[in-house]
Amino acid sequence: MRLTRRNLLTAGALSAGSLLVDSGFSLVPDAAAKKMDPMRNSGGFQPNWNSLRRLPSPQWLRDSKFGIYTHWGVYSVHGVGKNVTWYANKVYWQPDSAERKHWEETYGPIDKFGYKDLIPKFTAEKFDADEWAELFKSAGARFAGPVAEHHDGFSMWNTKYSEWNAAKMGPKRDILGELSKAVRHQGMKFVTAFHHAENWFYFPTTDKRLDSSDPKNSGLYGFIHEPYALPTKEFLDRWQGKIVEVIDNYDPDMIWFDFGLELVHETYKEDVLAYYYNKAAERKKDVVVTYKKHNLVPMVGILDLELGQERELTYNDWITDSTVDNQGAWAYCPEAGFKSTDNLVTNLVDRVSKNGYLLLNVGPKPDGAIPEEAKERLRGIGKWLQTNGEAIYGTTPWLIAAEGPTQLEKPGSFNESNDAKVFTAQDIRFTCKPDALYAIVLDWPGEKAVIKSLAPRGRTWAGLYPSEIVSITMLGDGRDLKWEMTKDGLVVNTPATKPCDYAFAFKITRRRPL
């Protein structure tokens, strides 16, 4: 996931963006743009940032809040490394690394057994797309899908741009195609992720001792080039071609981009986005693109915070890519461990309250089985959402996102709280609908909950007018609860028994007070 060879980017990092399409938006051609060929000039969006940044987020994303994606590929075979997807990069680039030592102890010398030789071990004999999609649906996800191609250059569909793909090698199945059908069959939107821009520097391509320097393997390891060189037209054309191929053949509702997008020249990014949005308009559907850092121009898509979240309520919506494992391994790693379900639910609630969404990763085994520990967590999230989904799906942030003593140290990427951060009954997150305010208490409050932010405070904050409160219940219980407004806050008596295991949602039904 994360770039580790930042010095490769200093010579040519460029701004970039992502984008969204909302149904009913009037597509007005931009007559000033003349530069594209017919493929890129077939609709109302032109390949320039001014044209691409006009659209709000799709309503389906605003309502959905929660999705699941998978890191599953050749890298799942070795199953080791703090970040499993970067293991092979260290094996090839760092001869003295622990990763190289592990590789040679496990598989033999790197010049005799290379990354390509893992492909036959990527068998997928237990892969069942329908089973995956049913699990993701039961977890409460509203959008789901796989990584289409990671840094390693191995495509998960039958691409015409390379023989190094899952339809021709390893599983010998069109993974992307099977999952796109299964996900949609469950009524979810289909998302796929592209990391393949980082293939440019992921493997060394000029070390004659390594299989990555053999031109016949360039479809996997990347084109031969000297270190620190900028991507060539040949590489960028293939980068673009693969995305267009997936758009045409699998019709994704969301395209997620990793960090390497900053290596891609902005005209290619503009062209891809214009093509995607015009194709979506032609198909009469709403789509969205996500991006990291400033790799796309603001407002052409949604900013993604890897393993991160915001401290405060934000003006623009955003998304987090996080993972069910507890070390950021991303792909299958038996030693990684897993976040608790309580932690996963808490972080979903926190993000939604601050105008964010969650895309949660799961790393299946090389045979296609999803680890039981991951299934347990996903089912736990689903059970919580069955009780409390009303406070998540279809909500908007409120005027205040949160109250309580437990705070993130910093905003942005790589700040995600882990199981060591203990949330209390004083930590509360807010969401709302037209007739209701939801106050989600992150630990059981005992006999009474005190919601301090709702106390009227005259000039500084109106809080809630007592006259606007019709009733207060707890989701999963449903009975009217006694309450009173005091100078310290809204005090609510809790039900006699807990309706769920964590994150307890008070529903405050409201009316116009005046």
pLDDT tens across 414-438, in order? Answer: 778 655 678 999 999 999 999 999 9
User: Alpha-carbon distance 350 to 415, whole Å?
Assistant: 13
Indicate the pLDDT class of residue 505, thresholds 50, 70 and 90. Answer: very high
All residues at 6 or more sequence positions from 237 whose CB lies less than 8 Å from its CB, including other chains: none
Which position has the higher pLDDT, 166 or 56?
166
Indicate the pLDDT class of residue 339, thresholds 50, 70 and 90. Answer: very high
Q: Which two tokens stand for residue 144?
A: 């789901």
Burial 479-514 (b: 16+ CB within 10 A, else e): eebebebeeebbbbebeeeebbebbbbbbbebeeee
Name the nearest CA neighbour of 347 among 321, 309, 386, 401. 309
Locus of tokens 């301090």: 452
Architecture field, domain 6-391? Alpha-Beta Barrel (3.20)
Does the fold of domain 397-510 match that of domain 6-391? no
Indicate the pLDDT class of residue 1, thresholds 50, 70 and 90. Answer: very low
Asked if 496 and 464 touch (Cβ cutoff 8 Å), the reply is no
Tell me the β-bridge partners of 16. Answer: 295
Mean pLDDT on 64-79: 98
Q: Which two tokens stand for residue 204?
A: 């060394």
What integer best gives the mean pLDDT of the chain? 90
Q: Which two tokens stand for residue 297?
A: 């121009």
Q: What is the pLDDT of residue 55?
A: 73
Which position has the higher pLDDT, 352 or 9?
352
Asked if 47 and 40 touch (Cβ cutoff 8 Å), the reply is yes
Report the percentage of the chain scoring pLDDT > 70. 90
- Position 378 pLDDT exceeds 70: yes
Task: Report domain extents, the chain.
Answer: 6-391, 397-510
Asked if 508 and 428 touch (Cβ cutoff 8 Å), the reply is no
User: Alpha-carbon distance 17 to 55, whole Å?
Assistant: 13
* Other C-beta atoms lying within 10 Å of the C-beta of residue 41: 17
Q: What is the pLDDT of residue 42?
A: 57
Which stretch of DSSP H or E encloses residue 268? helix 266-282
- Position 37 pLDDT exceeds 80: no
Which amino acid does the sequence have at 118?
L
Per the document, the length of the chain is 514
Q: How far is CA 449 from CA 271, 436, 465, in A?
A: 53, 18, 18
Q: What is the pLDDT of residue 420?
A: 61
Q: What is the pLDDT of residue 31?
A: 36
- Position 350 pLDDT exceeds 70: yes
User: Alpha-carbon distance 360 to 67, whole Å?
Assistant: 6
Lowest mean pLDDT across 240-249, 433-442, 453-462? 453-462
Q: Which two tokens stand for residue 244?
A: 């267009």
- Position 390 pLDDT exceeds 50: yes
Tell me: the pLDDT tens digits for 303-320? Answer: 999 999 999 999 999 999
Q: What is the pLDDT of residue 408?
A: 81
Asked if 371 and 126 touch (Cβ cutoff 8 Å), the reply is no
Sheet strand arrangement including 396-403:
396-403, 428-433, 436-441, 504-510, 469-474
First to last CA, the chain: 52
Q: What is the pLDDT of residue 54?
A: 82
Mean pLDDT on 121-141: 98
Q: What is the pLDDT of residue 19?
A: 30
Distance of CA 113 to the CA centre of its chain: 33
Indicate the pLDDT class of residue 4, thresholds 50, 70 and 90. Answer: very low
Q: Which two tokens stand for residue 397?
A: 């942030």
- Position 144 pLDDT exceeds 60: yes
Compute the C-alpha angle 192/198/200, nearest 5°.
130
User: Alpha-carbon distance 117 to 228, whole Å?
Assistant: 27
Indicate the pLDDT class of residue 25, thresholds 50, 70 and 90. Answer: very low
Lowest mean pLDDT across 4-13, 38-47, 277-286? 4-13
Strands 288-291, 254-257: pairing is parallel
- Position 12 pLDDT exceeds 60: no
Q: Mark residue 81 as left, alpha or beta (left: phi above 0; alpha: psi -120 to 50; beta: remaining).
A: left
pTM: 0.91
User: Alpha-carbon distance 84 to 231, whole Å?
Assistant: 25
Torsions phi, psi for 73 (to 5 deg): -175, -160
- Position 15 pLDDT exceeds 80: no
Q: What is the pLDDT of residue 40?
A: 52
- Position 513 pLDDT exceeds 90: no
Tell me the β-bridge partners of 433. Answer: 436
Q: How far is CA 147 from CA 69, 73, 152, 193, 254, in A?
A: 7, 8, 12, 4, 12
Q: What is the CATH number of domain 397-510?
A: 2.60.40.1180
User: Alpha-carbon distance 3 to 259, whole Å?
Assistant: 7
Q: Which two tokens stand for residue 340?
A: 């608790």
- Position 213 pLDDT exceeds 70: yes
